[in-house]
Chain A
Amino acid sequence: MQYLIKNGLVVDPVNETMSELDILVKDGVIAEMAQNIQAEEAIIIDAKDCYVCPGLLDMHVHLREPGYEYKEDIESGTRAAAMGGFTAVACMPNTNPVADTAAVINHIIERSARLGAVRVYPIGALTKGSLGKELTEMADLKAAGAVALSDDGQPVMDAGMMYRVMQYAGMLGLTVVSHCEDLSLAAGGSMNEGAVATMLGLKGIPNVAEEVMVARDILLAESTGCALHLAHISTAGSVRLVRQAKARGVRVTAEATPHHFSLTEEAVLGYNTNAKVNPPLRRQEDVAAVQEGLRDGTIDVIATDHAPHAYHEKDVEFPYAPNGLIGLETAVGLVFSQLVQPGILTVPKAIAKLCSNPRKILNLPGGQLIPGGVADITIIDPELSEVVDPAKLQSKSKNTPFVRWKLTGLPTLTMVAGQPVMQARRLLK
């Protein structure tokens, strides 16, 4: 099967350039990139006024399988990813059982190959059961296909343990993805600490609960030389710490989520459990700092922390609701609406954070459209608008705080290995 993507603006996030080129896709790879390609046998995909990007990768997703398939599974989660313009996702290990053995990693890879609409890269656990007590068999996890290691959802509270984790993971060349939260400071909190929490009578989680661990992990990475990736940083202080660490050459990268650059703690008003997330939505000055961190390159990656929860789990009194919101299907729209259109990020920079940077961190191929390369392609129409409607979401769970938001700038094609899986806002698989 051949596809000819015509008239698009091809984005190269590595060199931060854009060029008007046609792309001919043949047998799953990019056969040719040039102006005015003619190919009579090819199916034409018109990308006029659209950005043609290397396939996007969300490096922080919870697919919930195995163990919590009622919230999401590999099939529904990857369909949501395809709808959101992602050709690949990296999934976190806090499943049941935890992905702390090769057997679970193998299971995820096999199920994904069979049922996944997009590529799935499992992340293995740092410690057994993600309990922060014993190292996992990291070499085994890597051999099975784990692309990084994380106890996401749980911080490794013991600094000595985290030190050994980084020594060992660093030896194997695996990136440690850290969930930065000091539980003694966050204890019992269900939203950001501050005036809104005080008014609502909810226990707050202070910024410093995150920043203490960001500082600790940066120091441990500096000491061990391990590559450290900080998941979902949310505070101005964290951004400052990462900026300082990068300036002195620490091997640290960081990600921010669309909800942390789009929403403040005020989204919780009315006890909106769909805005209950960890780390919590912060104040305006933190949102501004995260946006500035994205702009100046301190924050390398935009990842969704897609965390599906069933309706009945969120439909409870606020303190009892689980943390998390879904993000795969709203991410690109939020990036374009909140960052690209206001001029915070250029299109190539935004695409780098959704595509080439996460691949670099996870040591994965791709991230650039080149002749001979695998045809994982995302097309984004910057003018296309949609109002977020839970009924139309592919994810099994509907826990989004962006209901009724009008997002402009949406993916119109998700192509994996030369095959469209989403086209014109409709799933094909």
Chain B
Amino acid sequence: MYWQRKDLLGLKDLTVEEINLILDTAVPMKEIIGRKIKKTPTLRGRSVVTLFYENSTRTRSSFDLAAKYLSADTIGLAAASSSVAKGESLRDTGLTLNAMGVDVVVLRHPASGAAEYLARYVPAAVINAGDGTHEHPTQALLDLFTIREKKGSITGLKVCIVGDIMHSRVARSNIWGLTKLGAEVRVVGPATLMPPDIEQMGAKVYTDLAQALEGVDVVNVLRIQLERQQQGLFPSLREYSRLYGINQARLELTKPDALILHPGPMNRGVEIDPQVAYGSRSVINEQVTNGVAVRMALLYLLTGGEYNAIPH
């Protein structure tokens, strides 16, 4: 199949075939990352802007490197240092970039729906790099890629997502992607961090970690944001860690070959024990590499790459 969408806004609306196309395209991209000279001319003459209204080191540098490995020209705009600080609207910022001939806008924004909003107004391809608590599709795609790479297939796997589901765009994109590819998804966390009616997205909801971990193939540990405690959503980090922290003992409940994922950055000792984070089942560092590969694949597909041969 050929990629036909202008933008990548979320996994909710992607078909299984589209998700598989991205993952398949990421395989040779990963091979490029492993080369001594990490450069192909595939996107030469193309321009990519990373427009970030929220701080992010890893997602931004991942996109930046992905674009550079494919020879695209990149610029990064941070909201604080741009015209946004002067009150320019997102729409106008997008139109300005568009007028400069940008091919791809990678947007990170604190408002849910911001990527969809921008995509309505700019002819450039928009990639959602995280919008509010809505979706973070490239993170989910790299999670899917990592799981598929390690397990061979996603169909039939049991995946447990642990933590602050309420505020997690990663959890939402993972639920869409994993269920589409045939996995059973469990979400677990304190009731105050569980969004209402999330089971209607296809996930099974737990508040008991032991029950949720029973026999799973993958544990995706979410970062717990410390400010949530100040908002009174849970009583203390100590209690959170006691109830929902992933440690060696709890891993015994999972399948012996269960994978440990974390979107990073980690609060070691809070949501994840260092032994687990650096243990043999952890694929956290590989997730980072795969993130670059998946983003290369997306840049390639969104700029018309489906008509080219996949680069070698």
B12 contacts the other chain (CB 8 A)? yes
Contact of A195 among B111, B116, B135, B200 (CB under 8 A): B200
A contact residues around B109 at 8 Å (CB) = 317
B248 contacts the other chain (CB 8 A)? no
- One of A199-207, A222-230, A232-240 contacting the partner: A199-207
B310 contacts the other chain (CB 8 A)? no
User: Which residue of the partner chain A has the closest CB to B90?
Assistant: A317
- One of B66-74, B126-134, B258-266 contacting the partner: B126-134
With contact pairs A316-B89, A318-B113 given, residues A199 and B12 touching in the complex (Cβ less than 8 Å): yes
A194 contacts the other chain (CB 8 A)? yes
Alpha-carbon separation in the docked complex, A195 to B90 (Å): 27
- Is there an interface contact between B90 and A316, defined as CB atoms closer than 8 Å? yes
B196 contacts the other chain (CB 8 A)? yes
B28 to chain A, nearest CB (A): 33
B109 to chain A, nearest CB (A): 7
A163 contacts the other chain (CB 8 A)? no
With contact pairs A200-B134, A201-B169 given, residues A318 and B198 touching in the complex (Cβ less than 8 Å): no
User: Which residue of the partner chain B has the closest CB to A202?
Assistant: B112
With contact pairs A199-B172, A201-B133, A201-B135 given, residues A318 and B197 touching in the complex (Cβ less than 8 Å): no
Chain A, interface size: which category? 20 to 34
B2 contacts the other chain (CB 8 A)? no
B135 to chain A, nearest CB (A): 7
Chain B, 240-261, contact with A by CB distance < 8 Å: what is the 0/1 string?
0000000000000000000000
B189 to chain A, nearest CB (A): 13
A58 contacts the other chain (CB 8 A)? no
Number of contacts between A and B (CB, 8 Å)? 66
A315 contacts the other chain (CB 8 A)? yes
B117 contacts the other chain (CB 8 A)? yes
B contact residues around A194 at 8 Å (CB) = 196-197
B contact residues around A203 at 8 Å (CB) = 133
A320 contacts the other chain (CB 8 A)? yes
Contact of A199 among B91, B131, B201 (CB under 8 A): B201
B195 to chain A, nearest CB (A): 4
- Is there an interface contact between B131 and A201, defined as CB atoms closer than 8 Å? yes
A contact residues around B195 at 8 Å (CB) = 197-198
B222 contacts the other chain (CB 8 A)? no
B contact residues around A197 at 8 Å (CB) = 195-196
With contact pairs A271-B117, A317-B90 given, residues A201 and B197 touching in the complex (Cβ less than 8 Å): no
B124 contacts the other chain (CB 8 A)? no
A193 contacts the other chain (CB 8 A)? yes
B64 to chain A, nearest CB (A): 24
B contact residues around A318 at 8 Å (CB) = 111-113, 117
Alpha-carbon separation in the docked complex, A271 to B135 (Å): 14
A371 contacts the other chain (CB 8 A)? no
Alpha-carbon separation in the docked complex, A262 to B135 (Å): 29
B114 contacts the other chain (CB 8 A)? yes
Chain B, 169-205, contact with A by CB distance < 8 Å: what is the 0/1 string?
1001000000000000000000000011110110000
A319 contacts the other chain (CB 8 A)? yes
A contact residues around B134 at 8 Å (CB) = 200-202
A401 to chain B, nearest CB (A): 16
Alpha-carbon separation in the docked complex, A201 to B171 (Å): 11
Alpha-carbon separation in the docked complex, A227 to B116 (Å): 46
A410 to chain B, nearest CB (A): 32
B14 to chain A, nearest CB (A): 15
User: Which residue of the partner chain A has the closest CB to B111?
Assistant: A317
Alpha-carbon separation in the docked complex, A260 to B12 (Å): 28
A335 to chain B, nearest CB (A): 31
A contact residues around B169 at 8 Å (CB) = 201
B102 to chain A, nearest CB (A): 20
Alpha-carbon separation in the docked complex, A381 to B144 (Å): 59
Q: Which of A25-54 contact B (CB under 8 A)?
A: none
With contact pairs A194-B196, A199-B172, A318-B111 given, residues A270 and B116 touching in the complex (Cβ less than 8 Å): yes
Alpha-carbon separation in the docked complex, A193 to B201 (Å): 15
Contact of A198 among B117, B131, B197 (CB under 8 A): B197
- Is there an interface contact between B91 and A315, defined as CB atoms closer than 8 Å? yes
User: Which residue of the partner chain B has the closest CB to A271?
Assistant: B113
- Is there an interface contact between B198 and A317, defined as CB atoms closer than 8 Å? no
Alpha-carbon separation in the docked complex, A270 to B131 (Å): 14
User: Which residue of the partner chain A has the closest CB to B198?
Assistant: A198
B contact residues around A320 at 8 Å (CB) = 111
Q: Which of A200-226 contact B (CB under 8 A)?
A: 200-204, 206
Alpha-carbon separation in the docked complex, A206 to B172 (Å): 20
A contact residues around B135 at 8 Å (CB) = 201
- Is there an interface contact between A319 and B111, defined as CB atoms closer than 8 Å? yes
Chain A, 174-208, contact with B by CB distance < 8 Å: what is the 0/1 string?
00000000000000000001110111111110100
11 A-B pairs whose Cβ atoms sit less than 8 Å apart in the complex: A195-B196, A195-B197, A197-B196, A198-B198, A199-B172, A200-B113, A201-B113, A202-B112, A202-B134, A318-B111, A318-B117
Instruction: Please give the residue numbers on chain A whose beta carbons come within 8 Å of chain B beta carbons, in ascending order.
Output: 193-195, 197-204, 206, 270-271, 315-320
* 9 other A-B residue contacts (CB within 8 Å) besides A206-B196, A317-B114: A198-B197, A199-B201, A200-B112, A200-B113, A201-B112, A271-B112, A316-B90, A317-B111, A318-B111
